Amino acid sequence: MKRIVVLASGRGSNFLAVASAIQRGMIKGRCVGLIVDRRGTQASVRAEEYGIPVYTIDYSGFPGKAAYEEELQRTLGSLAPDLIVLAGYMKILGSSIIREYTDRIVNIHPSLLPSFPGLDAQGQALEYGVKVSGCTVHFVDEGTDSGPVILQRAVPVLDNDDPGTLAERILFEEHIALPEAVSLFCQDRLRILGRTVIRLDEQSGRI
């Protein structure tokens, strides 16, 4: 069983999607901890309901990013994760952590990357006037939302959408995409070839 650690900053609906897929046996893995970067998150309440240990590393209690990242890396080390899932984690991970866990960190982003990386992806999509958007699960590299894409799900952008309605339509797909990507990782079915992530066949273990 793979050891999964989730990092979140707020509401935690993606964390919940992963936790519930684990509970239903759809992901062959164990969530050994939720790490949050602030106090009082909805994600922590949800983790407690699932009996998942919560580690609060309150960013505001550290003198700076370096000290915070050190503590985060130490906590991660103590949890010995096979996979780190960024599920609405609102900080850029430092390069030391990314290097330690190369090809073992995934992120969910609410756009079809490489379009609209960074903050307010839904607002960016509306501003640009695209007709299709969606979500992307990708491996994390040292850039912003720039690592190899594992899977994407698309949604239409409607003429009367505002950032809230579009975000809601995308979020529904996120809750399918993230557990699916985590499940594939836990079955050792993902291979990274350059920028391309290959999904191995369940039966044969081949492409």
Of 46, 109, 138, 169, the one binding ligand GRF by CB under 6 A = 109
Of 33, 110, 147, 179, the one binding ligand GRF by CB under 6 A = 110
Least distance to ligand GRF, CB of residue 136, Å: 9
In the stretch 160-179, what mask flags binding to ligand GRF with x, by CB under 6 A?
-----------x--x-----
Determine the Cα–Cα distance for residues 10 and 37; give it in Å rounded to an integer.
9
Determine the Cα–Cα distance for residues 111 and 174; give it in Å rounded to an integer.
10
Asked whether 155 and 115 are in contact (CB, 8 A), the reply is no
Task: Kindly state whether residue 98 participates in binding ligand GRF, applying the rule CB under 6 A.
Answer: no
Nearest CA to 192 out of 138, 142, 111 is that of 138
Task: Kindly state whether residue 136 participates in binding ligand GRF, applying the rule CB under 6 A.
Answer: no
Least distance to ligand GRF, CB of residue 17, Å: 8
Structure tokens that stand for 88 in this block: 């609405």
CA 52 and chain centroid, separation: 17
The backbone torsions φ and ψ at residue 35, rounded to the nearest 5 degrees and listed phi first, read -110, 130
Task: Kindly state whether residue 11 participates in binding ligand GRF, applying the rule CB under 6 A.
Answer: yes
Kindly list the residues in this chain that would bind ligand GRF in the complex (CB under 6 A): 8, 10-14, 87-88, 108-110, 171, 174
